[in-house]
């Protein structure tokens, strides 16, 4: 595991079920307050209290650079994604999903934190066709004129697929 994974794992050991609850609120229900607080918490854990948007953004930036992206490839200005000043490409989001899924210590909590197609969270009324029901686990995002969906899909022919669609 890289440094970021170690940081998140250490944070999860400190807060256990509370962190899973926050991640579930963030992932399944797109809770923007939870996302903002998570960003600040990551900053505090990585750089010391108090956490802030700046320290949280620095922590996320370190993680993305550790995944092989250049600082110019992204911009993080808040935790919720509600700012039009944020920039993350679909390629970056796919790499993040792959990284979290590949970490055996975090896989279960990560996948369970995502909305399940036709079942719960922000996807409970989407993908209701039997071909998709329960086969897509993803995080939604939206702003006026912007919509996104990133996560995992179980394909009958290709197995597990990682995807990110930004429109």
Q: Taking CA 25 as the corner, what is the angle to CA 21 and CA 28, rounded to the nearest 5 degrees?
A: 120
pLDDT of residue 143: 85
SS3 of residue 20 by DSSP: helix
Q: Which residues contact 31 (CB under 8 A, 6 or more apart)?
A: 25
Average pLDDT over residues 157-167: 96
For a pLDDT cut of 90, what percent of the chain falls above it?
A: 67
112 in Cβ contact with 19 (< 8 Å): no
Q: Phi, psi at residue 16, to the nearest 5°?
A: 45, -120
**CA atoms of 112 and 123, how far apart (whole Å):** 13
pLDDT per position as a tens digit, 89-134: 999 999 999 999 999 988 998 999 999 999 999 999 999 999 999 9
**CA atoms of 54 and 39, how far apart (whole Å):** 9
Tell which residue, 141, 144, 165, 161, has the closest CA to residue 152.
161
- Looking at the chain, the number of H-run helices and the number of E-run strands are 6, 4
DSSP string, 114-150: SEETTTSGGGTTS--STTTTTTEEEEEEEETTEEEEE
Whether pLDDT at 20 is above 80: no
Whole-model pTM? 0.86
**Between residues 157 and 5, the one the model is more confident about:** 157
pLDDT per position as a tens digit, 74-84: 999 888 888 88
Whether pLDDT at 53 is above 70: yes
For a pLDDT cut of 70, what percent of the chain falls above it?
A: 90
Place of tokens 């505090």: 44
């Amino acid at each position: 595991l890289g440094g970021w994974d170690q940081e998140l794992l250490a944070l999860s050991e400190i807060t256990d079920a509370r962190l899973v609850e926050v991640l579930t609120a963030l992932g399944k229900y797109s809770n923007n307050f939870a996302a903002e607080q998570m960003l600040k918490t990551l900053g505090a854990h990585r750089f010391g209290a108090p956490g802030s948007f700046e320290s949280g953004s620095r922590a996320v930036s370190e993680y993305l650079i550790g995944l092989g992206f250049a600082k110019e490839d992204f911009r993080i200005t808040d935790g919720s994604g509600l700012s039009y000043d944020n920039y993350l490409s679909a390629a970056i989001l796919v790499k993040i999903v792959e990284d979290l899924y590949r970490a055996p210590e975090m896989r279960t909590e990560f996948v369970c934190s995502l909305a399940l197609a036709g079942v719960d969270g922000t996807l409970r009324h989407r993908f209701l066709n039997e071909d998709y029901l329960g086969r897509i686990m993803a995080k939604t995002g939206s702003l006026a004129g912007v919509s996104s969906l990133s996560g995992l899909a179980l394909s009958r022919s290709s197995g597990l697929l990682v995807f990110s669609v930004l429109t």
